[in-house]
Amino acid sequence: DYQAFYKYKEHNFVYDKLWVVQSQGLLGGELNSLTKKNNENIEFPIFIKPRWGHETATSKNCFKIKCWDDLNEYKHIPDMMWSEFIDAKEQMTDFILLDGQIVHQITYVYSDTQNEFIDDWKYISPDNKPLPKIIDWVNRHMVGFTGIVNVQYRDDKIIEVSLRFARGGAYVLSTKNEYLI
């Protein structure tokens, strides 16, 4: 993601996961500024994770937090953020854009079973489609962009965006579809 972050400077704002949360009107903020005194109306569970997508990999330092006391264990980690917890199955779409227009999409259907954070399989088909709200977000925020936009979401709420294919293109290569590759 570092390469994409520096290559696409006009659109690298998508690597700010807090911005992604706020762009959808979801609750979220910097973890180090979250206190019970200032945020008594927050409903638990919440989700905490590293704020900058181009500086992290895998699910390191991503946690579901069930109560205020659980936060103390993680407040020392720099550049962490919190957001509302989205209790839904994760989904993902790779969009191919040309000057801000979606010209193709690959939506991955995840298996119902997982081995910790890894799915047993993902299904790729031209019949798989992203939710309209996800498409609307891409159209609204990726104006003028040419390249790949990987969007990860739970239900119709985006949790992470990257300017590259999912898993560096490994899923696309695994299709063995020479036209797609």
| pLDDT tens profile 101-158 | 999 999 998 888 776 656 677 788 889 999 999 999 999 999 999 999 999 999 999 9
| pLDDT tens profile 83-100 | 999 999 889 999 999 999
pLDDT at residue 47, rounded to an integer: 96
Dist. CA 84–CA 87, nearest whole Å: 10
| pLDDT tens profile 64-81 | 999 999 998 998 999 999
Quick one: how far is CA 47 from the chain centroid?
13
Residue 84 β-bridge partners: 46
pTM of the shown model:
0.90
